[in-house]
Homo-oligomer: A and B are copies of this chain.
Amino acid sequence: MKFSKFGNRFTRHTGARQLMDDLGAAMTSEEPVMMLGGGNPAHIPDVLQLLAERTREVAGKPREFRRMIADYSSPVGEDRFRASMARLLRREYGWPLGPEHIALTGGSQSGFFQLFNLLAGKFDDGSFRQILLPLTPEYVGYTDLGLAEKLFVSNRPIIEFLDDRLFKYHIDFKGLDVADDVAAICVSRPTNPTGNVLTDAEVRQLADIARARKIPLILDNAYGVPFPGIIFQSVEPVWDDNVILCMSLSKIGLPAVRTGIVVAHPDIIDAITGLNSVMSLSVSSVGPVLLHDLVETGQIINLGRDVIRPYYHTRADQALAWMHSALDGCEYFIHRPEGAFFLWLWVPEMSITCDELYQRLKKRGVFVVPGHHFFPGLDEDWSHKHECIRVSYSQQAESVHRGISIIGEEVRNACR
């Protein structure tokens, strides 16, 4: 079958696609697997119970239930939820915004497809503009989102070595070239895959650069503050009308519901409304109705702070201890886990690439993500790209523990 340019571009079997197929196959495999690969959040009992109660409550109120399933929302997303979200952000952080600053999308990923292709790519005047990722490693999901090739330009980080075989990436501001054809700057905070949390100073500096250059700063807040709040230290949530803040209900525990939230200048919101309306008529109201009361009362922030964050913080400490123990005696480094739910393992002296390590681990039933996928837009040859893997610690503790032990064995084999 012959496909269009668009078809060929979006259906090519990229590394990311291969990875997803592997993960999919693993999920349905008869063999026991240790799933340290995907981005699925944990099943936190208190959260699931709360959501199940709320679901029963909605099902028992005909008007709420109709709102959740039986009426198309406006293309910009369910209005009551957007109004409550605006009130919450205004009340908690003093951000000067209303519902006109908030759009919903069918998950964060759809939002990024829309935003990146709206702001960058080919322009009517013949110019071509790019999205700048000021720090790689950065989220693999961005990689193939461009309707045009070469949508991203990106930078190496500065590496700060810390105690206890930990390290931290920083933005190399001196090496940051915000060329004229940069349409927007984008960072995830916490960073998927590394668990890095950009410092408040770094974010402020990026925001200043963006404002001075009259381009938006896109903050991918899938794991961050104000919710789901998976950041293990105190940091400032950031928004102003030059920032496009992207949030999601997935990491609260609703990945199968597909609700993304974009907080931005009304011009951006208006564009997303148009895109939603043409590309999908409207977005789901399931997440907005299920979580409305939590947003209206502000309880969604407490849920992150009191339940979700402590849960993952404990899991992070545990996974880190297991990893140190599994790799004891090797030459390795781990990015300091500051948020999200991944360990980013760096083994500089492996005799194989991380892709080969991934293959060997897969054979032993352990699924991780090889690090070289996480450098979208960084075309230069840099050995570091092939020396890292992403290890999720969100799944069952026993499985994570066993998986990390096997990672230890395979890394040892690869360092001999």
Contacts and interface: CB of A to CB of B under 8 A. Distances in A.
Nearest to A62: B48
A256 interface: yes
Contact of A284 (B6, B253, B286): B286
A118 B274 CA distance: 21
A67 interface: yes
Interface string A54-71: 011011101001111111
A234 interface: no
How many chain copies? Answer: 2
B255 A71 contact: yes
Given A17-B277, A117-B7, A256-B286, A43 B70 contact: yes
A221 to B, nearest CB: 16
A72 interface: yes
A145 B123 CA distance: 19
Interface in A130-170: 141, 144-145, 147
A111 to B, nearest CB: 9
Contact of A74 (B8, B24, B255, B271): B24
Contacts of A254: 69-70
Given A52-B59, A59-B59, A268-B1, A70 B255 contact: yes
A408 interface: no
Contact of A277 (B20, B120, B183, B284): B20
Interface in A259-291: 265, 267-268, 270-271, 274-275, 277-286
Nearest to A47: B70
A106 interface: yes
B256 A4 contact: no
Nearest to A117: B6
B258 A283 contact: yes
Contacts of A7: 117-119, 271
Interface of A: 1-8, 10-13, 16-17, 20, 24, 27-28, 38-41, 43, 48, 51-53, 55-56, 58-60, 62, 65-75, 78-79, 106-107, 109-110, 113, 117-124, 129, 141, 144-145, 147, 183, 253-258, 265, 267-268, 270-271, 274-275, 277-286
14 contacts: A6-B147, A7-B119, A11-B275, A13-B274, A20-B74, A48-B70, A56-B56, A67-B256, A69-B255, A106-B106, A110-B280, A256-B284, A258-B258, A286-B286
